[in-house]
Each structure stands twice: as structure tokens, then as C-alpha cells.
Amino acid sequence: MKFKFKDKERARELVNLIEKEVPDRRVKIVHVCGTHEVSITENGIRSLLPDRIDIREGPGCPVCVTPTKDLDAAVKLAENGVTVTAFGDMLDVPGTEKSLKEVESEGADVRLVYSVSEAIEIAENTDNQVVFHSVGFETTTPMTAAVLSQNPPENFSILPSNKLIPPAMRSLLELPNNDIDGFIAPGHVSTIIGVEPYEPLVESYEVPVVVGGFEPLDVLYALELILKQISEADPRAENGYERGVDYEGNPRSQQLIDAVFRKADSTWRGVGEIPESGLGLKKKYKRWDATERFDVDPEAGEEVLPNCRCPEVITARATPDECDLFGEQCTPDSPYGPCMVGEEAMCNIWYRYGGRPKL
């Protein structure tokens, strides 16, 4: 199944189509997914396309947009003797003073997990308090909701940093001079939420939104659908990833999210507060909220470090190579800003694969 979606001949033909469809001006297309950025950069898709197609990543990496205050809360919990569990990339993100990895090297109990189920297992096998730093978009939230709805151990709780993608897309469209001509909507977020939540964006801003898959042909197909909508002046929410996304999404996962979480205003690192763009626990599940159980200082630290251009990268207004620190004072081994941390962060991906090479 996989290799067919990397087929070179079909890719060449789709590029031909795109070349014909693209208007005679700069076209800025934004995706909001680290996995899309990996596929686009790793496969050199930018270099296949006419220069006037400018593909940018928006706030599509949960690691990059988790606010400092949440990172600091996780660090503080670990320093106070709580076992903190988190996805791998979250261990390296610098908070105000330290990252989880740094407090781990000082003796704190920090565990890397691949699934929230592993955090539950850890809690079942210790008397210590175990906190899972629940980070992620709609794709990842149903898993946290699933374990919370099944009576997790009393010594388990979560630090909720879950966020929603459509409000973040709206916030980009509200920025003055954003120049956005179309969105590739994230495939696996859409597996959960479906296509309908993008329709209000299309109505308000008359911008094409096409759900895209992650293989090279999927990405090219999504681009072709967006350009077609542009040339026909018929913006709409369209599904370009039907094998992975149903129009109505995944109802069971949606029910789990709705049962456990409620919408809340949320701070995105580098973007600021976006109304109703995050999720907090509903009253019934508040007892598993680490911010209620422990004294974690909710005060925000420095969201943006001096000279760091992550805020512009995250909002699709700058590319990584436009930042003076990129590749110099900021590298994957020694990240300065959050966009250099983790394999799905834009600066990190550009550092590894070379951004937009001229072939």
C-alpha cells in the first residue's frame, strides 16, 4: 500500500498538473502538522514545485506551542519528587530555567513514554504520584480521555496541555497581512474531527482548506486540489485523504474527548492566548488534574526568548533560515527556541534535511 503513494511517475504527473494550475503570482499555502513538514522536506517537495508556491508550517507541532508555564509546571513537579511521564520530545524543550531532561540528570524521576497507557502502568507499579504531561492535538487527546474514563489509579494525574487545531488556523487568518491562500489541514487530526470543523473557516475567510495525507502523492494531491479551488474561485473544505479520514471523523474518539474535556482559552507559545483553543478537564474528572492536586505555580515565565524568531516561524511568517540563530546558536543538540526541539519541529526538520534545496 505504502510504496504506491510514493510512485515517481504519478508524482511527476501531479507536479505537471500543479504547474498548470498555479496562478502567476506568489501563492502561500500553510499546513499545520509536523508530519506534513517531515514529508514535504524529506521528499524535497518544495524543490519539485515552481518557486512561487510557498509552503509554510503553521503552529503544527505540539512541542513548540506548549507554553513555558506548562513546561515549568512539569519541571517543578519532577523537582518535588513526583514521577513525571511525557512523550520523548517534551523532555528536551527548555522551560524558563530548565528542561525535564535537565532535572532528570539532577536525580528527578522523569520517564519517557510512547503512550499514556505506559504512564498508567507506571502508576500501577509504584506508590509514588505519577503525572502524565498530556500534550497534543485532537489526534492524541482521545487516548488521554480513554484512560481517564476508565478509573485510572488514584496516584495518577495529568498535566493538561491539549490543544485544538481549527482555532489555531483561525488565529493565523486573523493576523494582519497573513497572505494565506490555502491550508493543507492535518490528516490525522482530521481522522478524529472530520472535515466539517473547517467549514466555518472557509465561510469566514474564503480560504481553501484541503485535508491532506502524508505520503508524497497525498501532499501533491492536496496542493493540486487547493490550486484548483483557487483557480475556480471556489473555496471549500475538501477531503484529499479519504482512506484515512471520514467526513464525520471518528465518532467514538469525539465522544471520549467530549465526555472528559471542556474547551478552554489556551496560551500557545509564540502565538499568545487563543480563545477556546485548549482543553481542560470537566468537573467530574478534576480529581485527576495535576494542577488541582499539586501546588504548581501557574504564573507564566518568558514565552519568547530574546532574538528567537520561533513566534514568526510558528505563525508561518518566517522560515527557519531567516533566523540569525538557526544552525549557529540554535541546533538540535543545543536548542535555543522550541522550534528546534523534536523531530517534528520546523527548525529541527530544516536543520536535518536542508529546508528548500535548489536541485
Partner 1 sequence: MCLAIPGEVLSTEENLATVDVGGVEQEVRLDTLTENVDPGDYLLVHTGFAIQKLSQEEANETLEIFDELIETNKELEEEGEV
Binding site for partner 1 (CB under 8 A): 1-2, 4-5, 10, 13-14, 16-17, 20, 33-35, 61-63, 87, 89, 114-118, 135-137, 139-140, 142-143, 146, 150, 186-189, 191-192, 217, 221, 224, 242-246, 250-253, 256, 342, 344
Nearest approach, Cβ of residue 329 and partner 1 (Å): 26
Give the shortest CB-204-to-partner 1 separation in angstroms.
Answer: 25
Q: Between 56 and 188, name the residue whose CB sits nearer to partner 1.
A: 188
* Residue 108 or 257 with smaller CB distance to partner 1: 257
Considering the complex, state which of residue 116 and residue 159 has its C-beta at the smaller distance from partner 1: 116
CB of 357 to partner 1, least distance (A): 24
Nearer to partner 1, 246 or 322 (CB): 246
Closest approach, Cβ 53 to partner 1, in A, equals 18
Evaluated on CA atoms 84, 116, 283, 153, the torsion sign reads negative
The cell for 160 is 493538561
Give dist(CA 221, CA 226) in Å, integer: 9
162/178 with CB nearer partner 1: 162
Helix (H) or strand (E) holding 84: strand 83-86
The neighbour count for residue 16, using CB atoms within 10 Å, is 11
Q: Which is nearer to partner 1, 188 or 309 (CB)?
A: 188
Which one, of 260, 34, 59, 246, lies nearest residue 143 by Cα?
Answer: 260
Cα–Cα–Cα angle for 305, 308, 311, nearest 5°? 95
Count the alpha carbons within 13 Å of 329 in the hemisphere toward its beta carbon.
Answer: 10
- Return the percent helix, strand and coil in the chain, to nearest 5: 45, 20, 35
- Report yes or no: 190 and 31 within 8 Å, Cβ to Cβ: no
Residue entry with cell 500534550:
135
For the bound state, the minimum distance from the C-beta of residue 227 to partner 1, rounded and expressed in Å, comes to 12
Smallest distance, Å, CB 225 to partner 1?
Answer: 10
CB of 327 to partner 1, least distance (A): 23
First to last CA, the chain: 29
Alpha carbon distance 359, 357 (integer Å): 6
- Based on CB atoms, which residue is closest to partner 1, 116 or 325? 116
Decide if 229 contacts 235 (C-beta within 8 A). Answer: yes
